[in-house]
Chains A and B, each alone.
Chain A
Amino acid sequence: MRKDVLIIDDEPAIRRLLIGALERNALSHVEAGTAGEALRLATIEPCPLVALLDLGLPDRDGLEILPQLAALGIAVIVLTARDATDEKVAALDLGADDFVTKPFDSEELLARIRSALRRKAGPQADSAKRQFLDGSIDRNTHRVTIRGQQVGLTPREFNLLWALSDRPGRVITHDRLLEEVWGPAHRQDLDYLRVAVRALRRKIEQDPTHPRLIINEPGIGYRITVS
């Protein structure tokens, strides 16, 4: 039977806590204490759906096995310290699905796992139409609807919102957004992004100074709220 979660952490205490939380929520799991063990378990068919990856592993750096796990189609959620911004960006760039900051709140962690599982279970039926909190974006009709009303966006704003909603609920790094919307030459021009996000927020947020739809992770990137 296909397991829901692969737990990769070298601390047995953390593993037991995670297992407790998963079991209480009726999620199946396997566990690994090393990178080697994790790769072995990940390659057994059928592979797990989600991996919880602690980056500090005894045999290898977690970032090294991350691309392999992602390539197997596993949604990787990285467990990392709050101030390890560079690590988070690197993980996201290497294909991580999401990250959770240690020390983590088990409710938040479970929410992230569930949303990852949901994404795994059913990819969006219409790839030209994407949903997010209070609204949707349609590529074919070039229409953005927020709280039931159509919103007029410039092409740049439309592209930005499209890029953000590519992976709803997940953080998309600044670099990646800049590259997709402005092109690879503008990966460093963070202020383009900031200004565009502000303009977009004015059009689609209820209160632009208290954003709920487009959320920033300082130093990392933006995520669009799903629900």
Chain B
Amino acid sequence: MNEALPQRDADRFLRMARAEQQGKLTVYLGAAPGVGKTYRMLQEAARRKAEGEDVVVGVAETHGRGETEALLAPFEILPRRPVEHQRHRLEEFDLDAALARRPSLVLVDELAHTNAPGSRHPKRWQDVAELLAEGIDVASTVNIQHIESLNDLIAGFTHIRVRETIPDSFLEDAELIVVDLPPEALIERLRAGKVYLPDTAGRALANFFTPNKLAALRELALRFAAHNVDRRLSSQLELSGERADFVSGERLMVAVSPGRGGARVVRQAKRMADLLHAPWTAVVVESASARGVAGSQREQLADNLALASSLGASLMTVAAQDVGQALVEQARELRASQIVIGKSRRSRWFEWRHGSVAQDVIRHARSIPVHVVPLDEADEKPVRAYDPYSQRDNAIAFLAVAAVVGVLYLLKPWIAPGAIDLLLLFPVVIASMFLRMRAGLWAALWAALGYNFFFIEPLYTLSIHSPADLVTFIVLATVAGVIGGLAGKVRRQAETSAGVARLNASLARFAGLMGALSDRDETARVACREIGNLLDVQAMIVSLEDGAVVVRGNEDFAQLEMVDETAARWALEHGQTAGRDTGTLASADWQFHPLKTALGIMGALGVARSTNERVIRPDDATLLASLVDQTALAHERLVLEAEARQVDGLRERDRLRGALLGSIAHDLRTPLTAVIAATEAIPAEGTFADEVRIARSETRRLQRFLNDLLEASRIEDGSIEPKWESVDMTDIIHAVLRDLRQDRPGSRVTASIDADCPLIESDPLLLRHVFINLIDNALKFSPPHSRVDVEAFVQNDALLCRVSDRGPGLPADQHGMFDRFHRLEGGDRVGGSGLGLWIAKNFVAALRGRIVASNREGGGALFEIALPLTEAARPDQP
């Protein structure tokens, strides 16, 4: 869970992509009720509506205030959704109606509101999140005490704890507008009866409105908003790639403990991380003693981890014996710059006996600063669950000791007195090794008492007379106690490491299994089977196919219930955990975890349990997360493999296309050669003289066309690679003229080459093609028997070659003249592939030259090629 840097880049792009489609959230933040948040929100919305935006009111609490109600008048108000709950009729915000209506802005008052049971989301802010995800802007209101990370702080000085909180992370991207009212003015409004207070809470809330408290709340609100602006700025910088965030290089690690105290420490860490602009990681150490903690405490631990996660922390669980040392090691590994840890106010005696994790951390931490958050005893009340087996273990320990004492008592005459105390250690060791730690200690006590009672004078009393016996007794009691403790500890250590080893082994096995599969259904089936076995749950994999939720990997549940299908769809579309035991659609039987990868959401893993317990036991959460990751990776790999195969297919098709062109060229050329040779052999005289001439010129044209097609296909393949060599332009132009004399007898092409034309580095064959195409083009557009001129000379560090004709010149619209299949006006009449100029342009470009077309002075078109001059190497002797 340690976030690697490349992953951060991927995250950044994901967030950027998401931010583009997301609706914008505007939150009107107040220090206390009655500052006029709703009023301000409605004013602002009215302005936007006046500007032509499609604004509707989802929820607006006017509390009967006339001026506020008057503001509401111009808006379209969505009807509320009636909900029956315990014979109360409640009206809730109708999320589906808002989604169906799709306005550009919805007003949803009271962001911290808790929805009536049976709603899609337990909290209203989750409704808002869904609206935002659908690209709908939302305006809402909230009071500062509902902000999760400030919850403790405010409860501390107002003595009112609000239960409805909003995670800070939800507000990170929101625009916060503080609706500010000086405390005196607010109190004035309260006195004037302008502030709505529910009757039941009236007295308590009235306590709220003292100038001091209001001033403190106001400061918090302003600070929170200022900080939010700060953070949004830096996150925008980060989105734009300038990594302003985390410039401080700070990284926080918080040690998470169960209970309310743990939650406080987490919130404190969140505030510190925000102030430092630092990423933070919440760490839980699984130690032998923590393994022994009761189930309810584990759930609290899981809750606190979930809290940390919702506040933006990365999570991490490590297994170790020495909690303090493990935390510091982890901090070093995470390169944490600061550690946050809670410390309960326990008695010195308790600390001396049990040690204090915080003290250990401070001792080990050396250079890393440690922040200790003091916790109340109330925060840290140890919770001990009833363990039905401890009584049984104690009884077994007692019976074991009693049996040994009995046997020893009967055999006393035959046993050396000194051996008895040693033999009595026997049941203690056995009990410690196989039973609970407490039972081992009890065994030590029973053994000591039994020894005293049955074997030390005076017999059958618990008193000791001889000092030697006293020493023996004390030694026995101490040794028994120490052995009991040690043996128990050894066993638990072994259990812990065995547990971790088992976990790692099963993960490795799972990864191995996943890596070996090449079929999607098979992967799903194996993943579900393995995850089911490892976590003792039912598992399935769902994915979206053509908009429908498809179940794979579990034939028993191929058909999902409506609510489960909705939860699955939620997880797949939003990439969030949904279903049972989660914040979204908790009434579902299945819990769905999205399989997220860099390629997107590959599907979702569904897990369910037939009993009423939590689907995922708190200590299985880490394992599940790893399994989900592995499953996602396996799916990602399958997709990548499929893509690779597709690319291979494309490559193969390309190769085939090339081969096809090659063979077409050969197959067309060969008969064409025969046809040309045959038409040349027929004397162009007598009755059919014209026909023979037509046949000759047309077959030559066909041949040029075929050559053009082949060259074009080479250009498209990108396989034009000039063979650079020293070139004398005289040679090139005369070779072209020779070809022309052969191909187009009777054409009048004159060459004028500057005698000082230097040698250049170029490709003679490509150049020859360029000239052939340009001269062909010129002949095509010239009147019969008119002249075409070819020139070559040096001008301004370039070798210029011109081909000009005496035809009609360039058309008015020269746009796209060098494009494929472009024919100049009347081109159809003259014929040609329409590829000539395009090929010339591409070849010249490959030769690092330029080609331009213009009109010749005195009529006709002029094409000019500029080729770069090179410093020709001098031969040793010319």
Nearest-neighbor residue (CB-CB) of B736 within chain A: A218
Question: Which candidate, A27-35, A97-105, A127-135, is the interface stretch facing chain B?
Answer: A97-105
Is the pair A191, B759 in contact by a Cβ cutoff of 8 Å?
A: yes
Chain B residues positioned under 8 Å from A209 (CB to CB): 730, 751-755
Q: Which 6 A-B pairs have the closest CB atoms?
A: A216-B731, A191-B726, A218-B764, A192-B875, A103-B676, A13-B674
A208 neighbours in B (Cβ, 8 Å): 730, 755
Question: What residue in chain B is nearest A192 (Cβ atoms)?
Answer: B875
* A154 to B735 alpha-carbon distance, docked (Å): 27
Query: Among residues 1 to 36 in chain A, which have CB atoms less than 8 Å away from a CB atom of chain B?
Result: 11, 13-14, 17-18, 20-21
The yes or no answer to A60 lying at the interface (CB within 8 A) is: no
Asked if A14 and B677 sit within 8 Å, CB to CB, the answer is yes
Q: Is B680 an interface residue (CB 8 A)?
A: yes
When C-beta atoms are compared, the residue in chain B nearest to A10 turns out to be B670
Which positions 658-709 of chain B face chain A at CB distance < 8 Å?
A: 666, 669-674, 676-678, 680-681, 699, 703, 707
A17–B678 contact, CB under 8 A? yes
Tell me if B734 and A211 are in contact (CB < 8 A): yes
Instruction: Tell me the complex Cα distance, A190–B872, Å.
Output: 11
Q: Does A56 contact B (CB under 8 A)?
A: yes
A108 to B738, CA, bound (A): 12
Would you list 23 pairs from A and B whose C-beta atoms are within 8 A, ordered by A residue?
A11-B674, A13-B678, A14-B674, A18-B677, A81-B669, A83-B707, A102-B669, A102-B673, A104-B676, A105-B680, A154-B877, A189-B873, A191-B759, A191-B873, A195-B872, A195-B874, A195-B875, A196-B875, A208-B755, A216-B728, A216-B734, A218-B731, A218-B765
- B250 → chain A, closest Cβ, in Å? 63
CA distance A104 to B734 in the complex (A): 19
In angstroms, Cα B666 to Cα A56, docked, is 10
Distance in angstroms from B213 CB to nearest chain A CB is 91
List the A side residues contacting B676 at CB < 8 Å.
103-104
* Cβ-defined contact, A189 with B768, below 8 A: no
CB within 8 Å of B: which of A171-214?
A: 189-199, 208-211
Q: Which residues of B contact A191 (CB under 8 A)?
A: 726, 759, 872-873, 875
Q: Does B878 belong to the interface (CB within 8 Å)?
A: yes
Q: How large is the interface on B (under 10, 10 to 19, 20 to 34, 35 or more residues)?
A: 35 or more
Binary CB contact string for chain A from 96 to 133 against chain B (1 if under 8 A, 0 otherwise): 00000011111110000000000000000000000000
**Residue A58 is within 8 A (CB to CB) of chain B in the complex:** no
The answer to whether B734 touches A103, judged by C-beta atoms less than 8 angstroms apart, is no
Q: Is A85 in contact with chain B by the CB < 8 A criterion?
A: yes
Residues of chain B within 8 A (CB-CB) of A189 are 873, 875
Q: Is B680 a contact of A106 with CB atoms below 8 Å?
A: yes
Task: Find out whether the CB atom of B878 lies under 8 angstroms from the CB atom of A195.
Answer: yes
B residues with a Cβ closer than 8 A to A are 666, 669-674, 676-678, 680-681, 699, 703, 707, 723, 725-728, 730-732, 734-735, 738-739, 742, 751-755, 759, 764-765, 767-768, 872-878
Give the interface size class of chain A.
Answer: 35 or more
Residue pair B728, A14 in contact (C-beta under 8 Å): no
Known: A105-B680, A210-B751. A215 touches B734 (CB 8 A): yes
| Complex Cα spacing A102 to B669, Å | 9
> Which of B680, B728, B753, B872 contacts A197 (CB under 8 A)?
B728
How long is the Cα–Cα vector from A85 to B732 in the complex, in angstroms? Answer: 14
* A216 to B759 Cα, complex, angstroms: 14
B346 to chain A, nearest CB (A): 89
Complex CA–CA separation, A105 to B742 (angstroms): 8
Q: Check B681 against A106 for contact (C-beta < 8 Å).
A: yes
Q: Which residues of A contact B735 (CB under 8 A)?
A: 216-218
Q: Which of B681, B742, B764 contacts A20 (CB 8 A)?
A: B681
Given A13, A21, A217, which contacts B681 in the complex, CB threshold below 8 Å? A21
**Contacting residues, chain B, for A192 (C-beta < 8 A):** 875-876
Q: Are B670 and A11 in contact (CB under 8 A)?
A: yes
| Chain A: CB-nearest residue to B761 | A191
Determine whether the beta carbon of B728 is less than 8 Å from that of A198.
yes
A105, A217, A219 — which one has the most chain B CB atoms within 10 A of its CB?
A: A219
Chain B residue nearest in CB terms to A83: B765
A139 lies within 8 A of chain B by Cβ? no
Q: How far is the CB of A111 from chain B (nearest CB, A)?
A: 12
Given contacts A218-B731, A218-B732, 5 further A-B contacts (CB under 8 A): A103-B673, A106-B677, A195-B759, A211-B734, A216-B734
Question: CB-CB < 8 A to A142: which residues of B?
Answer: none
A residues near B878, Cβ cutoff 8 Å: 154, 156, 195-196, 199
Q: A103 contacts B728, CB within 8 Å?
A: no
Determine the residue in chain B with the shortest Cβ distance to A15: B674
A20 to chain B, nearest CB (A): 6
CB nearest to A218 among chain B residues: B764
- Give CA–CA (A13, B667) in the complex, Å: 13
Q: Which residues of A contact B728 (CB under 8 A)?
A: 194, 197-198, 216
Q: Are A194 and B674 in contact (CB under 8 A)?
A: no
A20 cross-chain contacts in B, Cβ below 8 A: 681
CB-nearest residue of chain A to B710: A83
A4 CA to B519 CA, complexed, in Å: 69
Chain A residues whose CB sits within 8 angstroms of the CB of B731 once the complex forms = 216, 218
Q: Which residue of B lies closest to A212 (CB)?
A: B734
Chain A nearest CB from B228 CB (Å) reads 69
Q: Please, which residues of chain B bring their CB within 8 A of the CB of A193?
A: 726
Q: Which residues of B contact A215 (CB under 8 A)?
A: 734, 738
Residue of B nearest to A190 (CB): B726
Are the C-beta atoms of A85 and B875 separated by less than 8 Å?
no
Chain A residues closer than 8 Å to B875, beta-carbon distance: 189, 191-192, 195-196
Complex Cα distance A106/B680, Å? 7
Closest to A16 in B: B674
Neighbouring B residues of A17 by C-beta, 8 Å: 674, 677-678, 681
Q: Roughly how many angstroms separate A30 CA and B134 CA in the complex, as a whole number?
A: 83
Residues of A within 8 A of B680 (CB): 105-107
Distance to closest chain B CB from A45 (angstroms): 31
| Cα distance, A192 to B759, chains bound together (Å) | 11
* Minimal Cβ-Cβ distance residue in B for A174: B725
A56 CA to B726 CA in the complex, in Å?
31
Rounded to whole angstroms, the CA-CA distance of A196 and B759 in the bound complex is 12
Q: Which residues of A contact B874 (CB under 8 A)?
A: 195
* CB-based nearest B residue for A157: B878
Minimum C-beta distance from A220 to chain B (A): 9
Chain A contacts for B674, CB-based, 8 A: 11, 13-14, 17
**A86 to B, closest residue via Cβ:** B723
A210 to B707, CA, bound (A): 28
List chain B residues, Cβ under 8 A from A210: 734, 751
Please determine whether A104 and B765 come into contact, CB atoms closer than 8 angstroms: no
Distance between Cα atoms of A226 and B240 in the complex (Å) = 74
Question: How far does the Cβ of B177 sit from chain A's closest Cβ, in whole Å?
Answer: 73
Please state if A218 and B768 are interface contacts (CB–CB under 8 Å). Answer: yes
The answer to whether A194 touches B768, judged by C-beta atoms less than 8 angstroms apart, is: no
Give A193 to B876 CA distance when docked, in angstroms.
11
Report yes or no: A219 in contact with B876, Cβ–Cβ below 8 A: no
Q: Which residues of B contact A197 (CB under 8 A)?
A: 728
Cβ of B668 to closest chain A Cβ, rounded Å: 11
Q: How far is the CA of A90 from the CA of B669 in the complex (A)?
A: 21
Residue of chain A at shortest CB distance from B742: A105
Task: Write out the residue numbers on chain B whose beta carbons fall within 8 Å of the beta carbon of A103.
Answer: 669, 672-673, 676-677, 699, 703
B759/A104 in contact, CB under 8 A:
no
A107 contacts across to B, CB distance below 8 A = 680
The residues of A that contact B678 with a CB separation of less than 8 Å are: 13, 17
